[in-house]
Amino acid sequence: MSDKNKISEDITHLRDQLNHHSYQYYVLDDPEIPDVQYDRLYRELQSLEAQYPDLITNDSPTQRVGDKPLDGFSQVKHEIPMLSLDNVFNEEELSDFNKRLQQRLDNDDEIIFAAEPKLDGLAVSLLYEKGLLVRAGTRGDGSTGENITQNIRTIHSIPLKLLGKNIPDVLEVRGEVFMPKAGFEKLNQIARDNDEKQFVNPRNAAAGSLRQLDPKITAKRPLAMYCYAVGRVDGGAELSTHSEMLDHLKQWGLPLCNEREVVKGVQGCLNYFKKMSALRGSLPYEIDGIVYKVNSIKLQKELGFVAKAPRWAIAHKFPAQEEITRVNSIEFQVGRTGAITPVARLEPVFVGGVTVSNATLHNMDEVNRKDVRQGDQVIIRRAGDVIPEVVRVVPGSRKHHAKKVQLPDSCPVCGSEIEQEEGEAIARCSGGLFCAAQRKESIKHFASRKAMDIDGLGDKLVEQLVDGGCIDHVNDLYDLTAEKIVDLERMGKKSAENLIEALQKSKHTSLNRFIYALGIREVGEATALTLANHFTTLDAIKAADEESLQKVEDVGPIVAAHIVRFFKQPHNLEVIEKLLNSGIYWDEIEAVATKEQTLEGKTFVITGTLTEMTRDDAKKALQARGAKVTGSVSKKTNYVVVGDNAGSKAMKAEQLGIEMLDEKALIELLK
């Protein structure tokens, strides 16, 4: 064999390999080799082609991007018109469609349908001659479209050369070019970063990308295609069903949607519709409905066409997810954790299958970015069960006097100060103990095991007590009597008495528990303990300024600011006063504070079950001696206390060579 022939063979072999791996990657979503290896093969081919330019062919994977932009698009004529679909919007209309089919076929048997997602992109025709992609066109008006061959060639999932056997001499494939959601988000992020105009939705982005005269631009856009039909076919085997035909397309290397199914009768269609509606949000691409096609090609032929649509197929559309309406006002809601959320009150509008009159604006950054104002016309989106949101303001709809929205200074529910950290998107109400919006959460936290440990007062009962009007704030808990609560659902005399007793018992607590129970932002158990040990009295903590708070281990400027702000709110102080008046007390701190700090600077992890003490007690005892107790083993851990049935943490400690202590050794250490 001459050298040139050998090179030519190598080149063909490389192209075949690259085509095979593209197919595995793009069509089957099942790559056999890592990307770097693909790149290596690609570069090898590129280098051979650079040495032997006369061996370059149009179907080479290196030839996806042509070199020159076009002056304009030429036309393509669709020998077989590219049809559109009729729509149905509900079960009844679908049923009518099915009846029409049965009548026309004069057969009551249930019809078998091929069901597929209705992809939200644009219809395209690909023409393959002898397995090579020779032309691609848009649908246009159905009979004439634009020649977009050089743009289509840049889409990697579309084969330039078909794979496999029995490929028809002429094969015209039809399908939808679209932009996957992730690619769309990325593209718009880049546009935002460069202060450029963003695309409205993935469909527009796909259309804009395909209509580029310069294929180098199209090549940079994350486009994909799924095939769903054929046009002209010369040669090849006769097929009896639509689904079989799609399977062939897939074998020839063409990209197809994996979600397609064959279903039976109206019920089968509806089940599929329901399933896909639920899946819709998590699909990586946008769909706007389902297409049902009579699966038998013989029956398709029998049914034929009307005007511009086939009689044998129908699109079952999802309810529109976007609508236009007016913003009547913008209000601020306080969530159960105190987060302040701006909400647009809307002129009611039917969208995504329900009537919507409120839409979230998430936070002030979002309000400012979208610049939504009272009176604006806005686009509302409700996708699936996601809370409705304002997508954007309709340009030109603003009244000239409309004012920019401002974050209020005080909580619209309780009047406490609103706090917003530098660089934080979310603003919060600082009246945690008092604010009616937050009261259920604050009471649940107050009663929890590591806080006041009120036995029997779980989340459900807190809801019941608040909803039943028995309590408003945490301090009301200690005014409860068995008589007041005995009539609550699922309560009874015994449980009522038990709860009152548990409340009494909880009054004897510790300063650190009480501090933790107040639910100050970012003051967890550990910080509450260090605060208690450092200041020893509640009055001292209340009086501390940010500077002195920051002297406490683990308290930085943010936590210090939260603490100061919390104790500045008159409402919070009022609640604390009432709690203390109801008889809450704790032992003097000295017992904990005067322990010698023998373990200062050491970090412990406790794992497994201890027998002589609870893990909580062990933790406290270690902390009282200045140690830090954390939840996970790392290089910074000094000791791991290993109880019974210890698992992965003990293993990790062993791997890292960290000293391990059993319970006996721990007790020894604490002595």
Report the chain's C-alpha Rg in angstroms: 35
* Smallest distance, ligand IVH to C-beta of residue 226, A: 7
Dihedral of the alpha carbons of 22, 62, 163, 3, in degrees to the nearest 10:
-120
Q: Which residue, 167 or 313, has its beta carbon nearer to ligand IVH?
A: 313
* Smallest distance, ligand IVH to C-beta of residue 91, A: 20
Closest CA to 295 of 253, 254, 255, 247: 247
Q: Establish whether 118 is a catalytic residue.
A: yes
Contacts of 585 (CB under 8 A, 6+ apart): 507, 508, 509
Packing angle of the helix pair 181-193, 202-210 (nearest 10 deg): 80
SS3 586: strand
Residue at shortest CB range from ligand IVH: 123
* Smallest distance, ligand IVH to C-beta of residue 81, A: 9
* Smallest distance, ligand IVH to C-beta of residue 118, A: 4
Q: Which residue, 118 or 248, has its beta carbon nearer to ligand IVH?
A: 118
Closest CA to 438 of 569, 347, 349, 315: 569
* Smallest distance, ligand IVH to C-beta of residue 122, A: 6
Closest CA to 481 of 468, 467, 496: 496
Contacts of 18 (CB under 8 A, 6+ apart): 38, 41, 42, 45, 61
* Smallest distance, ligand IVH to C-beta of residue 309, A: 7
**How far is residue 582's CA from residue 590's CA, in Å, rounded to a whole number?**
24
> Which parts of 335-367 are beta strand (E)?
339-351, 354-360
* Widest pairwise Cα distance in the chain: 104
**How far is residue 56's CA from residue 8's CA, in Å, rounded to a whole number?**
10
Q: Which residue, 118 or 628, has its beta carbon nearer to ligand IVH?
A: 118
**How far is residue 123's CA from residue 126's CA, in Å, rounded to a whole number?**
10
Q: Which residue, 69 or 304, has its beta carbon nearer to ligand IVH?
A: 304
* Smallest distance, ligand IVH to C-beta of residue 174, A: 7
* Smallest distance, ligand IVH to C-beta of residue 287, A: 8
* Smallest distance, ligand IVH to C-beta of residue 353, A: 20
Q: Which helix (H) or strand (E) holds 160?
A: none
* Smallest distance, ligand IVH to C-beta of residue 201, A: 15
Q: Which residue, 116 or 663, has its beta carbon nearer to ligand IVH?
A: 116
Q: Of 118, 161, 293, 649, which is the active-site residue?
A: 118
**How far is residue 164's CA from residue 172's CA, in Å, rounded to a whole number?**
17
Residue ranges in contact with ligand IVH by CB under 6 A: 83-85, 116, 118-119, 123, 139, 176, 228-229, 291, 310, 313, 315
Q: Which residue, 112 or 393, has its beta carbon nearer to ligand IVH?
A: 112
Q: Which residue, 229 or 563, has its beta carbon nearer to ligand IVH?
A: 229
Q: Which residue, 151 or 442, has its beta carbon nearer to ligand IVH?
A: 151
Contacts of 290 (CB under 8 A, 6+ apart): 115, 116, 117, 118, 269, 272, 273, 276, 315, 316
Q: Which residue, 228 or 516, has its beta carbon nearer to ligand IVH?
A: 228
407: number of CA atoms within 13 Å, CB side? 22
**How far is residue 513's CA from residue 538's CA, in Å, rounded to a whole number?**
12
Give the DSSP letter string of 601-646. Answer: T-EEEEESB-SSS-HHHHHHHHHHTT-EEESS--TT--EEEE-BT-
- First-to-last alpha carbon distance for the chain, in angstroms, is 88
Phi-psi region of 645 (alpha: psi -120 to 50; beta: other; left: phi over 0): left
Enter the tokens of residue 573: 């102080």
Using alpha carbons only, give the angle 244, 318, 295 rounded to the nearest 5 degrees: 20
* Smallest distance, ligand IVH to C-beta of residue 41, A: 33
Q: Which residue, 27 or 622, has its beta carbon nearer to ligand IVH?
A: 27
Closest CA to 604 of 640, 647, 656: 640
Contacts of 478 (CB under 8 A, 6+ apart): 503, 507, 579, 582, 583, 584
Q: Which residue, 146 or 176, has its beta carbon nearer to ligand IVH?
A: 176
The residues annotated as belonging to the active site are 118
